[in-house]
A and B are shown apart, each in its own frame.
Chain A
Amino acid sequence: MSDSDKQEHEAAELVRPYVITGGRHLPGEGQFSLITLVTAAADHQQRPARLSPEEQEVLRMCVGGYLSVAEIAGHMQLPVGVVKILLAALSEGGYLISRPPEQRAPVANLQILEEVLNGLRAKFG
């Protein structure tokens, strides 16, 4: 990160991120995580003209396969949160389908496992 701060004598981006998001707010915490997978909805293969170039870019990236939110953010070179806002808007518009990451399997109770192990050892070991 500190490297990128060294770009002293360059103008910042012409279009600021808050314009790209249209002033929308961050989506809810649970809606998109970095490893949420998204893909373009099948019935929206043709890109609607009213979307901003960034939204179209996201859609184009997502056509034909699942991509993670982190990956999209990396390609877009935009802050992750900004990408999430875009994704939320596109999902709302029905252009994108998101698949939440699989839930973690509940961690088995260590104590029970130990007891079982001990029992097995007592019986067979």
Chain B
Amino acid sequence: MTPYIQNPVLWVLLVLTLLAAALVVRQRRAARGLRQEIAGLKNHYGELETHYSQSVREAQQEAEAETRTALKSAMRTLQGLAAEQQRIISGLQRKYGDAVMLQDLLEIDHMNAQFGRRAQSIAVLCEGWLGRHRDVASVYDVVRSAQGRIRHFQRVQILSKVDFGLTSRAVEPVALALAELLDNATSYSSPDTVVEINVRTVPKGVCIVVDDAGVGMNEEEKARAEKLLTSERASGVSGLGNPPQFGFAVIGVLCERFGFTVSVDSTSPYGGVRAVVLLPDELLTDMPTPQEPQEPVAVVQESRERTPVVDTVAVAHETGPDPSLPQPTTDDGLPRRRRKRPMALVSNSGPSAPPAPRRRSEDTAAIMAAFKQGTDKGRATHPDGERSSGTGDASSEGHEVS
């Protein structure tokens, strides 16, 4: 043993071992420290990342909201202008109703309606204004209104109708959604084919079925359409693709907001797309204008109650038959000759006073003006007084009635 103790090598080794141990311990400690630091850094980095993506998302949302607001107000202006223009065109159509110019006015009207629809669609995507309040309208009229908002409306045929009306709240959204469907149907089918519309009553409400004879949609397109129509929808106007496809996105928003459903996943009998709009009972109501006048008293009361919602044309049509139909026998429509009714009206208008103010004075003025224009024209071409004035008398009686 002793000789080993004397050996300096042993001591050197011992010292070396001790040194190595100390070194290892120190390194370990340093490594631990570093590891902790790394972990801290990692945490910090993670936090930064979340913050970053959060702020990016916020900025994106903010930008989208701003775009939406800007577009919304811009579209509101455009919609207002389109609506105003439509009224002016309506006035012109009445004014120049007998001129050849009417043809052009009708075309301008058509263009204007398409223009208005575009603005309306974008507004809907930006959660904006849908349009002016509409009165209760029959499903058939809503379908025709939708028809009038697309370019190739002549290719649309309405094959069946139901005796239901749409509540005033639903008129505009349903018309717009249907117009988008019809636009798709006419755009993706050849110009010489017809787009058919069938309206059916089903247990859950009323179905509007749109069949086109186009090329149909492949699975991918169907999936995309389904996505847009149901849940995952592009917010605002971003994510509509390039060129942007508004149709299904607009319909999706409208469906969600107004509670009807649209499905496009079936194939039409002609190989194209069959789109089905299901209008639930909540959106349905009675027909706005009773086509067949029932018992006169009931009709009068009914029309009086409904004065605020029935559209003016309908009202004007109602006022004629109501007071002057004491016998319910005239089943198939109105009295045979409308112009003989004034006598009855005069005696009846006393008790049933309210019908009188239902026509606005502007309307009366417009009608009388149109009538006068007509008789003037008649006299102008046939100056031999008697015949034309005879016609005039008869007509004026009729006009006072309705």
B105 to chain A, nearest CB (A): 8
- Chain B 153-182 interface residues, beta-carbon cutoff 8 Å to A: 153-154, 171, 175
Q: Which residue of B lies closest to A70 (CB)?
A: B374
Please tell me if B384 contacts chain A, counting CB pairs below 8 Å.
Answer: yes
- B395: which of A1, A23, A68, A104 is its contact (CB, 8 Å)? A68
- Chain A 69-97 interface residues, beta-carbon cutoff 8 Å to B: 70-71, 73-75, 77-82
Identify whether the interface residues of B are mostly helix, strand, loop, or mixed.
Answer: helix
- B107: which of A13, A18, A20 is its contact (CB, 8 Å)? A18
- Chain A 36-72 interface residues, beta-carbon cutoff 8 Å to B: 45, 47, 52-53, 57, 60-61, 63-65, 67-68, 70-71
Contacts of B337 in A (CB 8 A): 64-65
Given A14-B142, A80-B98, are A101 and B382 also a contact pair (CB < 8 Å)?
yes
Contact B97 A14 (CB under 8 A): no
A23 to B111, CA, bound (A): 13
Question: How large, as a class, is the contact surface on chain B?
Answer: 35 or more
A34 to B375, CA, bound (A): 8
A49 to B11, CA, bound (A): 120
Contact B106 A21 (CB under 8 A): yes
A124 to chain B, nearest CB (A): 29
Q: Which residue of A lies closest to B334 (CB)?
A: A60
- A35: which of B135, B336, B371, B391 is its contact (CB, 8 Å)? B391
A18 to chain B, nearest CB (A): 4
Contacts of B131 in A (CB 8 A): 11
Please tell me if B42 contacts chain A, counting CB pairs below 8 Å.
Answer: no
Contacts of A16 in B (CB 8 A): 109-110, 113, 145, 148
Identify whether the interface residues of A are mostly helix, strand, loop, or mixed.
Answer: loop
Please tell me if A115 contacts chain B, counting CB pairs below 8 Å.
Answer: no
Contact B377 A34 (CB under 8 A): yes
A-B contact count (CB 8 A): 177
Q: Which residue of B lies closest to A33 (CB)?
A: B381
Contact B103 A5 (CB under 8 A): no
Given A64-B336, A74-B399, are A3 and B365 also a contact pair (CB < 8 Å)?
yes
A9 to B316, CA, bound (A): 19
Contact A17 B106 (CB under 8 A): yes
Please tell me if B326 contacts chain A, counting CB pairs below 8 Å.
Answer: no
B80 to chain A, nearest CB (A): 11
Given A19-B148, A35-B378, are A77 and B113 also a contact pair (CB < 8 Å)?
no
A10 to B377, CA, bound (A): 31
Contact B153 A23 (CB under 8 A): yes
Contacts of A9 in B (CB 8 A): 132
- B87: which of A12, A35, A74 is its contact (CB, 8 Å)? A12
Please tell me if A108 contacts chain B, counting CB pairs below 8 Å.
Answer: no
Please tell me if B86 contacts chain A, counting CB pairs below 8 Å.
Answer: yes
- A70: which of B132, B142, B360, B371 is its contact (CB, 8 Å)? B371
A5 to B336, CA, bound (A): 34
Given A11-B132, A18-B107, are A34 and B378 also a contact pair (CB < 8 Å)?
yes
Contact B367 A74 (CB under 8 A): yes
- Chain B 343-367 interface residues, beta-carbon cutoff 8 Å to A: 360-363, 365-367
- A14: which of B141, B153, B395 is its contact (CB, 8 Å)? B141
B13 to chain A, nearest CB (A): 104
Please tell me if B100 contacts chain A, counting CB pairs below 8 Å.
Answer: yes
Please tell me if A113 contacts chain B, counting CB pairs below 8 Å.
Answer: no
A8 to B388, CA, bound (A): 36
Please tell me if B94 contacts chain A, counting CB pairs below 8 Å.
Answer: yes
Please tell me if B134 contacts chain A, counting CB pairs below 8 Å.
Answer: yes
Contact A73 B132 (CB under 8 A): no
Please tell me if A114 contacts chain B, counting CB pairs below 8 Å.
Answer: no
Please tell me if B133 contacts chain A, counting CB pairs below 8 Å.
Answer: yes
Contact B370 A15 (CB under 8 A): no
CB-CB nearest 4 A-B residue pairs: A79-B97, A64-B336, A70-B374, A81-B102
Given A11-B134, A22-B154, A73-B374; 8 other pairs, CB 8 A cutoff? A5-B88, A5-B91, A6-B362, A17-B106, A60-B332, A61-B334, A75-B338, A81-B93
